[in-house]
């Protein structure tokens, strides 16, 4: 069984489709999506549909990102709508024909079922950041959904497990690898790459928003 983490997608459906085609997930594989499926990129609706379709092919573990949280808040309260629209939400509204009332019920169900974290025997997965002294269940939303690594780089988690996060764009296109912590948000929406990372073999797949692929070696270094 492969365990593959996928970084922030932000509406880049062509990138996601291409990386899934490269991975070719099977029934024994587990794909852990680190959140931020929506906003900024051109087709948030198609991204959610691709993830839900992929759940029929393999085990899909979707985490909640701060952009999903903002989308849910904007749907619940018009007072929150202006802030969300300024954070890339307008592109999401456009992908649903200009009205959140056009969002299918199954999309809302998917968003409401996204997890705050995921844990395996060897790894922890959060969207953004973490407190190394707290268990996954004790972490705050402010930390795990919002705080960039540029604000605070945590030390090794008390569990001894390697932590995988997204949220902080690595505009070089390279994974940030600190040993105890890896950040695989490589800024696809901003002209970078969507990164998928096999946490055991360390194989890397990367696609840009046009769907063009570059594949990494077993050490995680991307090659053309």
**pLDDT value of position 215:** 67
pLDDT tens string, the chain, 224 residues long: the values are 999 999 999 999 999 999 999 999 999 999 999 999 999 999 999 999 999 999 999 999 999 999 999 999 999 999 999 999 999 999 999 999 999 999 999 999 999 999 999 999 999 999 999 999 999 999 999 999 999 999 999 999 999 999 999 999 999 999 999 999 999 999 999 999 999 999 999 999 999 999 999 966 544 455 44
Tokens matching residue 153: 């780089």
| Residues 10 and 90: beta-carbon distance below 8 Å | no
**pLDDT value of position 20:** 98
DSSP state at residue 216: E
**pLDDT value of position 219:** 43
Residue with token string 């009205």? 99
Three-class SS state of 213: strand
Residue with token string 């950041």? 129
**pLDDT value of position 223:** 44
CB atoms within 10 A of CB 155: 11
| Residues 189 and 10: beta-carbon distance below 8 Å | yes
Q: What CA–CA distance (Å, rounded) separates 5 from 140?
A: 22
């Amino acid at each position: 069984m492969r365990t593959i983490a996928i970084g922030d997608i932000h509406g880049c459906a062509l990138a996601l489709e291409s990386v899934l085609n490269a991975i070719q997930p099977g029934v024994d594989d587990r794909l852990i999506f680190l959140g931020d499926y929506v906003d900024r990129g051109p087709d948030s609706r198609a991204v959610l549909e691709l993830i839900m379709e992929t759940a029929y092919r393999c085990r899909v573990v979707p985490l909640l990102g701060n952009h999903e949280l903002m989308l849910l808040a904007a749907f619940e309260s018009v007072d929150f709508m202006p802030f969300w629209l300024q954070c890339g939400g307008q592109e999401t509204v456009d992908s649903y024909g200009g009205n959140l009332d056009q969002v299918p019920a199954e999309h809302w169900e998917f968003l409401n079922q996204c997890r705050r974290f995921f844990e395996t025997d060897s790894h922890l997965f959060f969207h953004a950041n973490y407190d190394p002294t707290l268990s996954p269940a004790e972490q705050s939303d402010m930390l795990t959904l919002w705080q960039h690594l540029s604000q605070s780089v945590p030390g090794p988690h008390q569990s001894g497990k390697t932590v995988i996060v997204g949220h902080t764009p690595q505009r070089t296109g390279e994974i940030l690898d600190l040993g105890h912590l890896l950040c695989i948000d490589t800024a696809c929406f901003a002209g970078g790459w969507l990164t998928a990372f096999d946490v055991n073999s360390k194989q890397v797949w990367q696609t840009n928003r046009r769907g063009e692929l570059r594949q990494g070696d077993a050490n995680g270094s991307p090659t053309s």
